[in-house]
Copies of this chain bind each other. A is one copy, B any other.
């Protein structure tokens, strides 16, 4: 059971609260102490919102232990032939 709980949550286009709930659920299982949020492109802002909402409203003792930024290569869009570079972020949360 414990191994099935996610310790990485990919943040995409859903509203921030759905990711906040995923974090709360994962931590409340009791077996997880650390969760990493991963996002890229416009979802980077959402990932920061998710971390801040979770920390300020729901899990006061939550600590941001690591933030890393990077660049990922995305395959070209249909009809284009150049791959695109997209920024990424990883935010690690410790309860």
Q: Tell me the A residues contacting B by CB distance below 8 Å.
A: 41-42, 44-45, 48-49, 51-52, 56, 64, 67-71, 85, 87, 89, 91
Closest chain B CB from A46 CB (angstroms):
9
The 6 A-B residue pairs with the shortest CB-CB distance in the complex, in nearest-first order: A67-B67, A48-B87, A44-B45, A52-B71, A49-B87, A52-B87
Copies in the complex: 2
**Apart from A48-B87, A52-B87, 8 more pairs, CB < 8 Å:** A42-B42, A44-B45, A44-B48, A48-B69, A49-B87, A56-B71, A67-B67, A67-B68
Q: How far is the CA of A64 from the CA of B71 in the complex (A)?
A: 13
- Taking A45-B42, A45-B87 as contacts, is the C-beta distance between A52 and B67 under 8 angstroms? no
